[in-house]
Every structure is written in C-alpha cells, then in structure tokens.
Amino acid sequence: MSTYFQLLQQAVTNRGPSPLVTWINDIGRIELSAVTFSNAVCKASNFLIDGLELEEDSSISVDLGNHWQSPVWLGTGLATGIKVTDQSGAIMFGTLAAAQVWKRSADEFVIVSQDPFGMPDKEIPSLFVNGSAEVRNFGDYFSPSWSLDPDEIVVKVSHKELNWEQLVVHALELADKNGIKPEQNYGLQGKGDLLTQIALQVVLPIVNQNSIVLIDQTEPDFDAITKQEKLSQIVRLA
C-alpha cells in the first residue's frame, strides 16, 4: 500500500495547480494547490528532521484548529513517519495564544502563526521555537529519512492506535458516513477529535482525490459558501 507521502506526490503529478485545501476566514481566503500544499509539507518535514532533529520514535501534537496550517503540520507527521498524538509528552505545534499559557518546557512547543499568508509572529517569548519563521529556512524537496513499516502506528489517541492502512479505512468510512464521494469538493466547519480531524483535513483529500474547504468564520453563510466553492456538502463538527 502506498504511503501518505507517495500519494501526496502522485497528487502533485495528477492535480498540480488544482486546489487541494482552501481556507475561508473573516479576514480572507487562501487556496493551496496540490503543488503548494506538498511544498509546505516538504519544508515542514525537513524542519522536523533536520531542524528539530526529531527521530523515528518521536511524536507530535498539532492544535491549530480549522486553519490551513493544520493539515500542513498533521500531514507532515504522516509524511515523516513521526507519530501524531493527543497524548502528553509530544512536541506541540500550536498558536502563540496557546504558548502563552503553556505549562511544560518551552522547548516542547513550536509556535505556528495564524496569519492568513503564514507570516511568522513577530513578538514571541524568546524561549519558544518560532516554527513559521524557522520552516522558511528549509527546502521544499523532502526524502523520507527512514522506511515506513506498514504496521507502524501513525496516530495514537487515548482510546485507539492506528497504522496508515487503518487510518485510510477510517477516513473512507467517514467519507461514506458523510456522503463524500471521490473527487467531490466538501466543506468542513470545526475540527472534531484528532482522528476525525486527520481523516477529513488530511487523508481524504489525498486518498479520495477530494478538495476540502476549511470554514473558519465566526458566522458563516453556508449557502453562499456552498455555491461559491461548488461544494457537494459541508461537514459540521464541534
């Protein structure tokens, strides 16, 4: 079975400039093509391996809501083979606001900007890693540092552990449950639990050839968004 990273590269070849992830917020709209999204994942992957020096047994947590940075960093975990988890002890990728109330060591938290264009936060506590600034120093060509065992756990939550194949099955089950067919455009409001978030934000757009619109507005006009973005449906999560 092809890995996430292999499927992402196939998407670059087959879908190129077509939109893969779109983010809609009260202050703007950002569209990432398959090429742009892959470049972002590759730069972030190089940052994890060569910058943070994470290894095969490392784990990361990502708490970036329904922002376009969320699928980038979640996808980075899948691309590198570094476990994504909601458990304590992982390196956290989160917002400046979350860093300001962080209770653990500062070197376990990487700040990711919520700027629409990914511009780094300018004023952050000196002990924290400014991920959005650091990632710019890395190239957009990535080659996995180790082979990915098909049975290796890629996502670990409090009640479940899934390898890549099981994660794909879970994502396709969610697609069927929500009526999301291959190659359709669908919207997502809210993020849900970690497994649902990874499945809908990251996995389905790649394995199901979907295009996803992340709706991150305070009071969205769902009818207008559905028409503008040509959505087949909108999945609403808590």
For 167-189, the pLDDT digits (tens) are 999 999 999 999 999 999 999 99
Helix (H, G, I), strand (E, B) or coil at 11: helix
CATH number at residue 211: 3.40.50.12780
How far is CA 147 from each of CA 4, 5, 152, rounded to the nearest angstrom?
A: 12, 11, 10
Q: What strands, in cross-sheet order, belong to the sheet with 211-216?
A: 28-33, 19-25, 211-216, 185-189, 233-236
What is the per-residue burial (b if ≥16 Cβ within 10 Å, else e) of 67-96?
A: bbbbbbbbbbbbbbbbbbbbeeebbbbbbb
Distance of CA 196 to the CA centre of its chain: 12
Show the tokens assigned to 208. 């199901």
Helices (H), 16-123: 34-46, 69-80, 96-99
For 90-147, the pLDDT digits (tens) are 999 999 999 999 999 999 999 999 999 999 998 899 899 999 999 999 999 999 988 8
Domains in the chain, number:
1
Residues spanned by the domain of 158 = 4-236
